Structures are given as structure tokens and as C-alpha cells.
Amino acid sequence: MRHFDHIDTAYRKHLFFRHPRRFGRHDDPEVLAVALGATLYSPAIRPTLADDIAKAARRGVTSMVICLEDAIPDEDVAAAEANAAEQLRLVYERAGEPPLLFIRVRHEDQIADMIDRLGEAADLVTGFVLPKFTASTGDAYLEALAATAERTGRRLLAMPVIESREAVYRETRNELLQDVSRLLAKHRERILAVRLGATDLSAAYGLRRPPDLTIYDIQPVAGVISDVVNVLGRADGTGFVVTGPVWEYFSAGERMFKPQLRQSPFDAHRAAPLRQQLITSDLDGLIREVHLDKANGLTGKTVIHPTHVAAVHALSVVTHEEYCDAADILGVSGGGAMASSYANKMNEAGPHRAWAERLLLRARVFGVAAQDVTFVELLEAAGGR
């Protein structure tokens, strides 16, 4: 699969200086972790799940999670397991390339059980999402995953979710993250990315982020994100990709604050209706939050509606200016500072090297925008209108 493949080929040539490359579920996890983009969650109980997966793929979705945990009432778990197995077998029997598919389980026994239920259709499963992850609960999950992979001969990757109360509370957070770091290091070859469960983290304080604020405005949760990146997202070879927390709004009510999108970039492209649509759907808040995710070291995002995907992916494209900066930085071996190619900043070959390396990995899967192409054009092309 390839990001933006649902866009007309001729228009893609206009949009990109360097085109996104293809990737698949058997690629290096380092590549797949960045390629996840907007990961769309869907309850496993949906009777139209197979059709939903096909529609999502046509809209540019490249990763999905089939949820057996919080999205499913306790009394419906058995029905959800049966439905997920049936629907994924349907996907397997049909032609076409589905997104990267993950199953979010609620206990470790479901890992082997779901793979066995799927039979050959288990080839569709890239891995499992492991909720409420701590060192004590996580060890059982990862051992079950390893045993299932070895027994079936399949590569199964893990995405643990940091969302437990031990991760929220200050007096237990540091010890938990250190223990999780050691556990993930033992299973490094199976860890695709670390996810953040903002809904559960907020729930520990009885909070819910309103649509006109970002998760970074909710200080108790913002502190958790900062510490997770500090311990688990380091750029020294010990860290993992940490993904952005869920954006859970897709329809706006009455607004208290002004829209968070400047009007002039949209006017320049005669895209005022697109701006109004984004504001009406509260997607201006999502766009701001994705910017803050990237600035704070997070890659990709959990989403719950297909309309969110275009914004996340458009913001994941590397700008021409960023690409030139990264290329200049990585082209110098002995350190030192230089003016940027755009003559608007200083690039330092030493301190900026890790940033440049990460940016070029994102450029590989999301591409580099042509010099005069803006986020507005990318968003329109990706399906924002």
C-alpha cells in the first residue's frame, strides 16, 4: 500500500517533490511504525466490519484497530469475537489490499484464540494492541504474543497502550515507566509503537477534553505524555515510536472560542468552504493537536472517524523546507552550524541530526511536498472536502 494512492496519479505529480514509497505488513517495524499515520479504531461488533474496512482503504486509511476491549460491552464480548473472526475472513476472501490490521484485546488469552479462529485469514493481522499496559500485565500479553507467533510461524507485532492509573498518578508513574521500558527492551523486536490512551488517562481525574482545547491544555494528562516521551520515546536508540492520543470529536456543537485555523491560507487557495467545513466538524482542533503532537515527539494518531484521516495524513507530509533542512544537516559529517537553504533559520549538524533522521523516515512513507504546495492543497486532495 502507499499513502495518497487514492489520489489521481497526475495530481499526485503536482503535489509531491518526492512521492511516498510503498510499504506492507512485512516491512521493517521501524518503517511501519511511522507509516501507521491515522489509525482508525472500529468496534469488533459492527456487522458491516468487512465493508467498513474496504471503504476505509478506499479513503486512504492505512491502519485500523478492531477493538474487543472498551468499545465492547462486557456481555457482548463473545459475539464480538465471533463477528470479528467472520468479518476478517470475508476481507481475506475478497480481492484488494486492506489496511494494516490490528486487534485490540482485553486479556492475553484472546491473542491465540483470535489467530486460531481466523485460520488462513490470520495473514491479515499485523499485530495486537495491548490495553492498560503495565510491567505486570504486559509481561503476560507479550509472552502470549511470542508463543502464538512461534506456534503459527507468523510475525505478530505489539502496540502497548499507556493508560493505567499507575501511569497517571505522580507517585507511581516513574517506577511504572521504568519497569515498562525494561520489559519492552526485552521484547524490542515485537514492539511496533507505544500508544497513549488519553481517554483513560483523563478518566483518572474525572476529566474529558472539550473539542476547543487540545490534550496539551489538560495539564494532568499533558504531564503523562511528557514523561512517556521522556522515558519511552528517546532518540538514542533505546526509544520507540510514540503515537498521538485519540481525537474523539467529529461533530461540533456551540463554540466557546474562536476557530483555530487562520483564514488567509485557505483564501489563497480559494478553499474557504473547506475551512468552514473543518470548523463545523471541530477538525480545526484536531489539526492544532496534531501540530502539537509532532512538536512533542509523537508520530501518527488514534482516530475514531474516517473524516479525521485526511488531516492527520496531510500534516504528516514533509514540507519541502523541512526536507531541505534535513538533507543539509545529514550532508555534514563533522558538525558545525549553517544557514538553512531557505535562509530563515540556523541548522546545526550535531543537535539536529536525530530530528533529520526521523524526518527522512517520515518522508519515505508520506513523501515530500512540492515547493509551493501547502497543507491546504494536501488536505483537499486527501479528502478533506
- Stretch (H or E) spanning 130: strand 125-130
Q: Looking at the predicted structure, is the pLDDT value of residue 385 above 50?
A: no
Predicted structure pTM score: 0.91
Mean of the per-residue pLDDT values of the chain: 92
C-alpha span between 113 and 110 (Å, rounded): 5
Same-domain status, 141 and 154? yes
Q: Are residues 255 and 300 in the same domain?
A: yes
Same domain, 53 and 42: yes
At 256 the pLDDT is 47
Whether residue 243 lies inside any domain: the answer is: yes
Residue 179 is predicted with a pLDDT of: 98
Kindly tell me if the per-residue pLDDT of 270 is higher than 80. Answer: no
Q: Do 324 and 200 fall within a single domain? A: no
Beta partners for 368? 18, 318
Residues 274 and 359 in one domain: no
Point out the annotated binding site for Mg(2+): 200
Annotated binding-site ranges:
200
Q: Are residues 277 and 338 in the same domain?
A: no
Same domain for 294 and 244: yes
Helix, strand, or coil (residue 65): strand
**Mean pLDDT computed over 25-49:** 97
> Is residue 237, in this structure, part of any structural domain at all?
yes
Side chain identity, residue 84: A
pLDDT, tens digit, for every residue of 363-383? 999 999 999 998 888 988 888
Residue 285: burial class (beta carbons within 10 Å; 0-12, 13-18, 19+): buried
How would residue 250 be classed by pLDDT, with cut points 50, 70 and 90?
Answer: confident
Q: Are residues 313 and 323 in the same domain?
A: no
Q: Is the pLDDT of residue 205 over 60?
A: yes
Q: Taking residues 167-196, report their average pLDDT.
A: 97
- 366 contacts 21 by C-beta, under 8 angstroms: no
Question: Do residues 237 and 354 share a domain?
Answer: no
Helix (H, G, I), strand (E, B) or coil at 155: coil
Name the residue with cell 489496511.
Answer: 99
- Give 96 or 196, the one with higher predicted confidence: 196
How far is 130 from 148, CA to CA, in rounded Å? Answer: 15
User: Residue 1 falls within a domain, yes or no?
Assistant: no
Show the domain range for 35: 9-317
Residue 87 lies in a domain: yes
Lowest mean per-residue pLDDT among 120-129, 138-147, 261-270: 261-270
Query: How many domains does the chain fold into?
Result: 2
Q: Is 208 helix (H, G, I), strand (E, B) or coil?
A: coil
Residue range 95-136, pLDDT digits in tens: 789 999 999 999 999 999 999 999 999 999 999 999 999 999
Task: Give domain status of residue 378, yes or no.
Answer: no
